[in-house]
Amino acid sequence: MNEIAWQSHQLTTPDLDIAWHDAGSGPPLLFLHGGPGHDHQFMRALAAPLTQQFRCVLADQRGTGKSHLRPIDAHSLHVDRFLDDIDALRRHLGVDQVTLVGWSWGAALAMMYSLAYPGQVARLAMVSPGPIPYEMVAVYLANLLRPLAAEERHTVAMLLEESRAAFQTGNPVAYNDIYWRRMEVMFRIWFYDPLVAQQHLPSFLEAIDPYRAAQVEEHVIASLGQFQGWQNMAQLTMPALVLYGYQDFEPITQAYILREWMPQLQIQWLNECGHWPWLEQPEQFYPVLEAFLRGEE
């Protein structure tokens, strides 16, 4: 495929200039990246093949990438502000309803937006979503360490302690160095094939500011219990898809909990596949996602 010519834009809101990027033509798709605290860059590879059929829109969530935010605090990084930003982008794109494609944290965010604004979502695609029911957080944490040998777990525990100390003292240089060392041990667990993990680790590290991500994550996670949209579950009637790799460390069995909440939900599994299905199993991944986005249920 030829290099995608992404166009960069800014959308000014009362407290933020949202950096967003688009390519392709056709019905708009709004992609929500992972984190909290990452930016859109690593999602470009996911969206690129879809630009042949859709206008793919990728934004840096508030406090990340070029969506600069001052101050960084509990109010400016409350989850409700993220939902406001998504709706501002929807309105700016000039559509009454938007199709969302969320990955990891972005998939959970897409569902929360759908709950907060159920009339504004045309289709909801959740790729490798992180824990949504709260009790699944413990499952996620256990799965995260399961592939590691005892010595590696010990190393990770020590690095996490060093990370906390660097974060508490406000030392971004030390924090980022420790994060990169931790990823050298842990990044492979996000993939089925360790060789694929090794191939993509450098581009992942280039696309993340670990200290800024930790600042964002701290406030976002603290606000999740204040989200009020769960009462709107019965209004989630839009077509929906959840797609997981069988070897993802996320709590993949929550797909069936989600279908109890949303009987129309399609569930798709990919074998020999971890948390990044478009990188590990593109031949399986894209036909399923494209068919859903085109409405071919």
Establish if 177 belongs to a structural domain.
Answer: no
Which pLDDT score, from 0 to 100, does residue 150 have? 95
CATH number at residue 232: 3.40.50.1820
pLDDT band (50, 70, 90) for residue 94? very high
pTM comes to 0.95
CA distance 260 to 232: 14
144 found inside a domain: no
Tell me if the bond preceding 36 is cis, omega within 30° of 0.
yes
| Cα gap 137→139, rounded to integer Å | 5
Confidence class of residue 135 from pLDDT cuts 50, 70 and 90?
A: confident
Tens-place pLDDT, residues 245-277: 999 999 999 999 999 999 999 999 999 999 999
pLDDT digits (tens, 9 = 90+) for 25-47: 999 999 999 999 999 998 999 99
CA dihedral 85→36→117→66, nearest 10 degrees, is 20
Q: Tell me whether residue 156 is in a domain.
A: no
Residue 181 is assigned to a structural domain of this protein: no
* 201 occurs within a structural domain: no
Residue 84 covered by a domain: yes
The confidence score (pLDDT) of residue 2 equals: 60
Please tell me the total count of domains within the chain.
Answer: 1
Give me 86's structure tokens: 């998504």
Cβ contact 45:285 at 8 Å: no
pLDDT at 183: 94
β-pair partners for 23: 56
Q: Does the residue 127 lie in any domain?
A: yes
* Confidence band, pLDDT 50/70/90 cuts, at residue 207: confident
Domain that holds residue 14: 7-136+219-293
Q: Does 68 fall in a domain?
A: yes
pLDDT of 169: 96
